[in-house]
Structure 1
Amino acid sequence: MPKSLKTFLQFAVFLGLGILIIWWTVRGFTPQQINEIKEAMRQGNYWLLIPAMILGFASHWVRALRWRLLFAPLGYAPKKVNTFFAVMIGYLLNLAVPRLGEVARCGVLSRYEKIPVDRLVGTMIAERAIDLLCLIILLTVTVLVQVDVVGAFVNAYIWVPLSGKFTGVTLATWGIIALGGMLFVVLIAWLLRRFKHTKAGISFHNLLRGIVEGILSVGKLRGKGWFLFYTMLMWFLYFSQVYIAFWCLEETIGLGVKAALSILAFGSIGMIATQGGIGAYQYIVQQILILYGISATIGFAFGWIIWLAQTALMLVLGLGSMAAIPVYNKKHRTDSPDAVNK
């Protein structure tokens, strides 16, 4: 299958799923409820989205600084601005094709900072693994501090669907799966050994080694304290965006820290479930806010408001980064002492 066709199909599937979720969510609304959603969005205090978007910009900058720390053990020190540009270009492309941006940001930084792309991919994998761990911790804390509120939501939308998928799986099936996994690993190891002296084998081995070195860069960090600080700060900024956004609608002003934690934790799942989170994010936010006494129409409107603000910020910063990074690097080369001497 041509790569362009595969990319288009990925885009169509994830976007189609998001649109389907939107249709499924609004199909039960009466004309009166639709009018309530429009009225809520019309009367929203959107000036408060400005500080929320500033916090969003800060969170993206902090992510770039945190990612940059992983390059030190590998012997590289890319410019902060280039690292930020790469992160934002990655976010922009993720809106088009899920996970494409993760690879793209590595390619962009490799091009402008001359860092081997395999090592960048390794650091990206390590960073995303840490983000996943943080999300799991956040979900756990969110549930533990308010079991009475979100417990039913977790049971209905997460636990029951997951347990249902494994109900009919026997011990023999698990054994076959494990055996298949081991055979796959043995096959890969044999192929690497069998063709290690060929051009393709050497290239693949170097790629694999670079990725592993990038992943292991986390353990070699000298500034682990800074890495932890940036991680905590980044998630705090995410939380603050949601909390400030509550003040955009009169009906959500009274919501507090626990509600913001719930939206941040479960909404993060929605952001990766469909194309840019469209449909899934709004639906999850709506269902979460219902638990806190907010009507389905207001919850749906709030989900759209915060999603549009986040997406607009990514579009502006992503497109701006694509336009600015070649200009910035051209100017930097021109202003550098080496360029002047030449």
Structure 2
Amino acid sequence: MASSSRRLRKILQYVVSLAAALALLFWVFRKQSWEDIWSRIAEVEWYLIVLSLIVGLLSHLVRAFRWNLLLEPLGYRPPIGHTFLSVLMGYIANLAIPRLGEVARCAFLDRKSGVPVATGFGTVVMERLLDLICILLLTGVVIALEFTHVLDFFKEMLLEKGRSVQFPIWVWGLVAAFLVGAFVALWWFFRRGGRAVLRRQPLYQRLEPILLKFIEGIASIRKLDRPIAFWVSTFLIWLFYYLMTYLAILAYPATSGLSVSVGLAVLVVGGFGMAAPVQGGFGAYHFLVANFLLIYGVAMEDGVAVAAVMHTSQTILVIVVGSLALLIGLLIPRHANASIPTKDPELGTSPASSPSLETER
């Protein structure tokens, strides 16, 4: 019963996110002429789009390298090829079901390199938290550089298009009170020995080893073997994201005159669109980017066209390289060239002398 209930919940989640994506796409394209869109897309400088895709692929490679840096202090050193294939598979999985890619890439690395899923997933969560911090920092930079235009954008989106979804102040007060109350209740529970109570529960006893590995993965950023390489690779990832976006902006005649700071703003706005709980950011990306470009005098038709070019080209790249990654992954034997921990992170011993690690494998 529980299994069928979970399956039904996943199906409903998929249907709802897909319906939201289709509704947003319909809303964006409802007043557009496809013939007009194709004529505008025909004006694109395609060599710049190809350069944009190459830069995008480089960002995926650097992300795989950075993932290895997070795994190193935990004793795992998978080949860069394995982590690169894992990252590509994660992106194509996200096109099917939002956030599925994070689990899929960890499962692949577990099968091919012996990195436990819980440990890998903990490092992926750490990655995503870092990405969130980076996008928030970039948002602050964009607000500082393009304050007037950003303010106009929010006025347009929230005060005009968002009138129907405004909430009275007491609703926000209830939400704040609930969050504070939940935090206080958790604090009181653990202060009163709640952890000891949890440890007596059979379910917690089964989940605790997984939770510990998950927390270990998140904490890996605190004990990096190569911190400089980690932060440089983080910078390069976002630099490549920016170049990927700005090259596509330059490729379209109606947006080729926009400044470098506008390119950064489009990266941030598009990033929030890609983070929306819909497959591959479909609809949300187009909606946000097209409406944001309106503030800079770019016609809605041109904004929709350039958003479609940027999103579609990157989606095609993900499908092509992700499919190749899946095929190559099938050719790699299970745990072939497995990354065996060089040491037990807690005991400082080699795997050969660590029965717990041998049993885990």
- TM-score bucket of the superposed structures, by smaller chain: 0.7 to 0.9
Does residue 230 (structure 1) correspond to residue 238 (structure 2)? The answer is no
Whole-angstrom distance in 2 between the partners of 1:123 and 1:262:
28
The equivalent residue for 2:346 is none
Query: 1:254 deviation in Å?
Result: 1.4
The equivalent residue for 2:180 is 178
Q: Work out the percentage of aligned pairs sharing the same amino acid.
A: 30
Point out the more displaced range, 91-100 or 238-247. Answer: 238-247
Q: CA RMSD in A?
A: 2.7
Aligned partner letter, 1:154: F
Preserved CA contact (<8 Å) 1:34 1:297:
no
Structure with the bigger percentage of helix: 1
The equivalent residue for 2:86 is 86
Aligned partner letter, 1:168: W
The equivalent residue for 2:169 is 167
Query: 1:184 deviation in Å?
Result: 5.0
The equivalent residue for 2:256 is 253
Question: Is there any run of 5+ residues in structure 2 with no aligned partner, and where?
Answer: 339-361
Three-state SS of the structure 2 residue aligned to 1:168 is helix
String of CA shifts for 1:125-172, please: whole Å, max 9, x gaps.
111000000000011101111112222113443699699447224757
Whole-angstrom distance in 1 between the partners of 2:74 and 2:337:
24
> 1:248-327 to 2 correspondence within 5 Å?
248-273=251-276, 274-327=278-331
Q: 1:96 to 1:186 in 2, by over 3 A?
A: farther
Q: TM-score scaled by structure 1?
A: 0.88
> 1:1-342 to 2 correspondence within 5 Å?
1-29=4-32, 34-157=34-157, 164-165=166-167, 167-169=169-171, 174-184=176-186, 193-194=196-197, 196=199, 200-273=203-276, 274-329=278-333
Query: 1:208 deviation in Å?
Result: 1.2
Query: 1:34 deviation in Å?
Result: 4.6
String of CA shifts for 1:28-75, please: whole Å, max 9, x gaps.
44xxx5543221023323232211111111000000101110111111
Preserved CA contact (<8 Å) 2:112 2:335:
no
Question: Is there any run of 5+ residues in structure 1 with no aligned partner, and where?
Answer: 335-342
Point out the more displaced range, 170-179 or 316-325. Answer: 170-179
Whole-angstrom distance in 1 between the partners of 2:188 and 2:140:
36
Q: TM-score scaled by structure 2?
A: 0.83
Preserved CA contact (<8 Å) 1:243 1:256:
no
Whole-angstrom distance in 1 between the partners of 2:281 and 2:175:
34
Whole-angstrom distance in 2 between the partners of 1:96 and 1:254:
35
Aligned partner letter, 2:299: S
